[in-house]
Structure 1
């Protein structure tokens, strides 16, 4: 079932605030920092929304699983919850951001060297660096370069002290790019 903007924000404020997503920051902090970095780079509102929502799939799974032991496929898990709410320009960079990491690792050993140990472990589970044919296919994707930019912001959005705009600001971004706002069903 598609999520409303308010439901997305509530997930980040609850599940995303308590889960230790990346090193010393929560998934909520990571999402806000990633969106801020996108804005600072001059990205349009659709790519800012993608940066904000790229790891939402982590919040849609049980928390008990050991993340180091499996690839949670979060980039796929989130798609049904955002499809028909946001356009392809938001959905595709989210879907492609894991492949973008694999792409960057295939292009640059120094990129791989900069990854955290957890990110290196997840890269192995995700298939390792892209192979030549996979690179060609990735580059044919309409939003591949947006996914690469998102991935680079993702890597930088890990500061426990960075201050960001809050949800009031990003609620407006999400509402602006949403193509459909599902109604909340009465219980």
Structure 2
């Protein structure tokens, strides 16, 4: 296995700032606002640093440099490939599973579908619709399933153009603590 090459502060900032103005599929926010709002929601919920960083980067597979590196992959898989090299296995798995988590929640939480935006309802069809019973059981059995479900719920809520955003310095601090813990 290749050693992780942690993101520098400049790289992480450039990735997040590179999402500014990038449309978010018809939602009222751009990709940068969505990323920082998802991270703020994770922080507000008391998530650990690694999950906060994963929340900020859950859609990084849509960023130009990541798309260029992983052409043709769905954004969650491109993001996971990026995260595996730069953040670690947990972040990669949670990023890869934030789309399946939507399918899981639609299948298992009767109130969840009503929370989805029209854009998210439309993308659900392309993503395979609700999980069947076997898929849902397999997903739920994974030790990180709760993290993916939490990320999915923050993702769904992070579409408010006037909502709070995690400041970049707070994201950089969370990332630095993750790197220090891995090195520790």
TM tier relative to shorter chain: 0.7 to 0.9
> Counterpart in 1 of 2:52?
48
Secondary structure of 1:84's counterpart equals: helix
Alignment of 1:171-186 (within 5 A): 171-178=172-179, 179=182
Asked whether the equivalents of residues 3 and 81 of structure 1 are also in contact (C-alpha less than 8 Å), the reply is no
Shift of 1:21: 1.5
Q: Aligned partners of 1:2, 1:87: CA distance in 2, in Å?
A: 9
Deviates further, 150-159 or 2-11: 2-11
TM-score, normalised relative to structure 2: 0.84
Could you list the structure 1 runs, at least 4 aligned residues long, displaced by more than 4 angstroms after superposition: none
TM-score, normalised relative to structure 1: 0.82
Matched, 1:162 2:163: yes
Matched, 1:17 2:30: no
Q: What is the Cα-based RMSD across aligned positions, in Å?
A: 2.2
Shift of 1:3: 7.1
Alignment of 1:102-181 (within 5 A): 102-178=103-179, 179=182
Q: Aligned partners of 2:24, 2:73: CA distance in 1, in Å?
A: 13
Instruction: Give CA deviations for 1:31-67 in whole Å, capped at 9, x if unaligned.
Output: 11111111111111111111111111111337xxxxx
Asked whether the equivalents of residues 28 and 159 of structure 2 are also in contact (C-alpha less than 8 Å), the reply is yes
Q: Aligned partners of 1:21, 1:72: CA distance in 2, in Å?
A: 17
Q: Which runs of 5+ in 1 are unaligned?
A: 63-70, 181-187
Q: Which runs of 5+ in 2 are unaligned?
A: none
